[in-house]
Amino acid sequence: MNNLRRPLVYLGVTCTAGILATGCGATNSTPSTITRSAAHKSDQSATGAASQTPITIAFWYGVSNNLSNDIQQMVAEFNRTHPNIRVVATYEGSYSGGGEEQQKLLAAIKAGDPPAIAQIEVHAMPLFAASGQLLDLTSRLQTSPIDKPSNFLDGILVSTQYQGRYFGVPFNRSVPVLYYNETLFRQAGIAHPPTNWSQLISDAKALTKGTGNHKIYGFSPLVDWWSWEYAVGSSGGSVLSTNLTKATFAKPNALTILNAQAQLVKDGDAKVETGPNTWDLMTQDFINGEVAMDIDSIGSAGKVASGVGSKFTWGTALLPRGKTLAVPPGGGDLAILKGVSPAQLQAAWTFIQWWTAPAQSVKWSMETGYLPVQKADLSNQTYESFIANHPQYRTAIDELKYEQPSPASPAYLAVLEQVQQALEGIFDEGKPVAQTMEQTAEQVDQNLR
């Protein structure tokens, strides 16, 4: 299982909602997989011979390896049980903000030939929704017996809306959680994981021991803007002003947790990994027993479980509170692109409702580690048994009640790109927290004007 949150953003500040409608200058080659034009031919054929030729729709996604295999298997099952519809699912590169799948989607929109369904990274939803290229699903959700908003788990829909309308349905959703080494905690005489940052700081110092290559660190910060969103919100701050025109993340009340993490590193009680593979290295440090706590995606639980094996016992806990607890959304949603024929639209909506129905939602969650999305999932006997045997996954469900939407600005991805550079400066190069974030906020303000 991969690290299942949103990957790093490298979109560029010039990609705004207004430009997106013309392709955002996408330079990737035109998608080679099935798109609307190819599906339309099947749609036309089906008009005259619906019983012989199924409606064909393209579904683009951006998760690879085992996750891609899981998607292909589930799509094959849908096609088998829905002979009048044929979903052609293709991996188009990373779905991250600015990733290959997104760039291909931008190019396909510019060419007027996007797929019927696409996976949209949760922070990219405002960018695509503001472009006018996504179908407004509000009325369909409200009248759906399966995907009615009240059917979803609390908090799971925060990334699917833009300006009060629904443009997506939850697909591969995740949240960050606290991972902790229960064996090291017992050895240090600590009875339970920290619930706030004062406790985390104290625990990290108590858990740090040894020197050199044999040193065990109490904590490892994730040098990534996803966990930074949590740090800002849980410190009592905000990323942007209410009107989305000014950066507010450099205010003192937004820096409390970030300052605490940087100080732990400076004091030698936290290990920080640097470079392009910082996330994977941090996860591996926990698996190796080199750090006692870290903040990681719930989607890493499968990798941790297989990597740790019987070496030690481990658990997950709610993210430690600062002034409050604000959990950022992670992962992606499914959206339908505008311009599909009525028959393709109905086929796409049938597929999405099938995917999010409890039977499939539970299967997807157990196979991948992503969150279940329906309230009914939690009373599913199969899922109840799974959670009983894998209690670490329950934490992510409990965190959903604290999930907060990210700023709904089409420019938000560009903001996060600049923040990521600042975080790397703080943790990789030791730059001062307040000054670095103040400078970054000034740069963000220039791009938000």
Confidence of residue 39 (pLDDT cuts 50, 70, 90): low
Domain 176-326+411-448 fold is: D-Maltodextrin-Binding Protein; domain 2 (3.40.190)
Per residue in 91-123, pLDDT (tens digit) is 999 998 678 999 999 899 989 999 999 999 999
Cβ-based neighbour number of residue 367 at 10 Å:
17
Confidence of residue 34 (pLDDT cuts 50, 70, 90): low
Closest residue by Cα to residue 290 from 303, 306, 308, 302: 308
Average pLDDT, the chain: 89
Pull the structure tokens for residue 107.
């190019």
pLDDT at residue number 28: 36
Task: Report, as an integer, the average pLDDT of 262-282.
Answer: 95
- Per-residue pLDDT for 47 more than 60? no
How far is residue 75 from each of residues 14, 122, 343, 394, measured CA to CA in Å?
A: 36, 22, 19, 27
pLDDT at residue number 99: 86
Cβ-based neighbour number of residue 7 at 10 Å:
20
Please, are residues 169 and 200 in contact by the beta-carbon 8 Å criterion?
Answer: no
User: Can you list the pairs that 423-432 forms with residues at least 24 positions away whose Cβ atoms lie under 8 Å?
Assistant: 423/223, 423/224, 423/225, 423/228, 424/223, 424/274, 426/258, 426/262, 427/221, 427/223, 427/262, 427/265, 427/272, 427/274, 428/223, 428/272, 428/274, 428/275, 430/266
- Per-residue pLDDT for 9 more than 60? no
- Per-residue pLDDT for 225 more than 80? yes
pLDDT at residue number 98: 73
How far is residue 407 from each of residues 101, 190, 227, measured CA to CA in Å?
A: 22, 37, 15
pLDDT at residue number 372: 96
pLDDT at residue number 96: 81
With DSSP H G I counted as helix, E B as strand and the rest as coil, what are the percentages for the chain, rounded to 5? Answer: 50, 15, 35
- Per-residue pLDDT for 30 more than 70? no
Per residue in 316-351, pLDDT (tens digit) is 999 999 999 999 999 999 999 998 999 999 999 999
Closest residue by Cα to residue 266 from 419, 422, 432: 432
The structure tokens 């407004």 sit at 136
Confidence of residue 45 (pLDDT cuts 50, 70, 90): very low
Distance of CA 103 to the CA centre of its chain: 18
Alpha helices in 208-291 (DSSP H): 225-234, 256-266, 278-287
- Per-residue pLDDT for 50 more than 70? no
How far is residue 376 from each of residues 102, 114, 152, 381, 391, measured CA to CA in Å?
A: 32, 33, 8, 10, 18
Task: Report, as an integer, the average pLDDT of 363-390.
Answer: 95
pLDDT at residue number 6: 39
Question: How many Å apart are CA 86 and CA 347, to the nearest integer?
Answer: 9
Q: Please state the domain extents for the chain.
A: 17-174+331-402, 176-326+411-448
Rounded to whole angstroms, the maximal C-alpha distance in the chain is 75
Task: Report, as an integer, the average pLDDT of 125-138.
Answer: 95
Domains 17-174+331-402 and 176-326+411-448 share a fold: yes
How far is residue 5 from each of residues 296, 297, 447, measured CA to CA in Å?
A: 9, 6, 26
Residues 6+ apart with CB under 8 A from 149: 141, 142, 157, 166
Per residue in 64-93, pLDDT (tens digit) is 988 999 999 999 999 999 999 999 999 999
**Looking at this protein, which amino acid is placed at residue 121?**
E
Closest residue by Cα to residue 174 from 327, 283, 60: 327
Element (H, E) at 181: strand 176-181
pLDDT at residue number 27: 35
Question: How many Å apart are CA 208 and CA 366, to the nearest integer?
Answer: 34
The CATH number of domain 17-174+331-402, selected from 3.40.50.300, 3.40.640.10, 3.40.50.150, 3.40.190.10: 3.40.190.10
Record the pTM: 0.87
Residues forming a β-bridge with 335:
118
**Looking at this protein, which amino acid is placed at residue 244?**
L
- Per-residue pLDDT for 52 more than 90? no
Per residue in 389-400, pLDDT (tens digit) is 999 999 999 999
- Per-residue pLDDT for 20 more than 50? no
